[in-house]
Structure 1
């Protein structure tokens, strides 16, 4: 009997971003440790929200939010290039908090663009989160990873080398 894996905010972000990345990540194939972009994100997290006392908060051992600031859950991101996946990650956090009787709004700060986006969990957005959670479980239950789907941000992904290792240059063919 296989135990059901826990799903977190990063999983929902990956679900929106790239289902193959999600599958690889959930199977323990971690490529993030060598990624410069992931390292930049870690440094950004460590240096953000210095005035706030409630940072890197683990909720019920299930998921971690960057910071609580009054009525807001705050997340910091390098850029808004992956805004849709960032929004889904925040909606997941707001949904999980709502399930625990905590009503918050979200703020995602994009440091490069110096902009902040407010996220509100509506009934419609709650349904989207529930559907995405179900979708995550479908992806990770697959026996093999989803096929590569080339998107503009593939080259900056930590899994790029893994996904494209078997491609042959036209000059080599």
Structure 2
């Protein structure tokens, strides 16, 4: 695995659970038809139905890029969370630093449920943070054995992999 194989889902799983990331890397996908995942897809489709600018690059899809150089991402959450930053910041990092699109400025994360947009510039600190996350994903991809269970079982109950991990 290399940086060109990394997609948004890898970053999301890294933020939530390394076991979940490891299973996903091993092609164990439990999310098809999982209620909260389907809700997120529906909200995404409705939010930008007029913006037919979805861009597919390698292992990820960008909602759209505005003329001011910001990548736009939609989250179904009813609260702004720091862990929502990594996915779109990775897209910005990849486009700017790997593919050479110098006009990329950062990301705008849309929360339609609470009618809020968070703007995050892609600065040196964010670049370093994303580089570290890429290294972590590559490290998990090299693990021979499945990482231990997440310490927060309350969080696990909401996960598509819950039955797999706890059966």
Give the shorter-chain TM-score range: 0.7 to 0.9
Name the structure 2 match of 1:170: none
CA distance in 2, matches of 1:115, 1:4: 34
Is there any run of 5+ residues in structure 2 with no aligned partner, and where? none
Correspondence 1:64-75 to 2 at 5 A: 64-71=61-68, 72-75=70-73
1:70–1:153: structure 2 CA closer, same or farther, 3 Å change rule?
Answer: farther
State the shift of 1:4 in Å. 4.6
Q: Is the 8 A contact 1:74 1:109 kept in 2?
A: yes
CA RMSD of aligned residues (A): 1.9
TM-score when normalising by structure 2: 0.87
Correspondence 1:38-49 to 2 at 5 A: 38-49=37-48
Name the structure 2 match of 1:11: 10
Which entry has the higher C-alpha Rg, 1 or 2? 1
State the shift of 1:147 in Å. 0.5
Name the structure 1 match of 2:82: 84
1:12–1:50: structure 2 CA closer, same or farther, 3 Å change rule?
Answer: same
CA distance in 2, matches of 1:150, 1:134: 22
Greater displacement, 16-25 / 109-118: 109-118
Name the structure 2 match of 1:142: 143
Name the structure 1 match of 2:101: 101
Q: Confirm or deny that 1:37 pairs with 2:39.
A: no
Is there any run of 5+ residues in structure 1 with no aligned partner, and where? 166-173
1:80–1:87: structure 2 CA closer, same or farther, 3 Å change rule?
Answer: farther
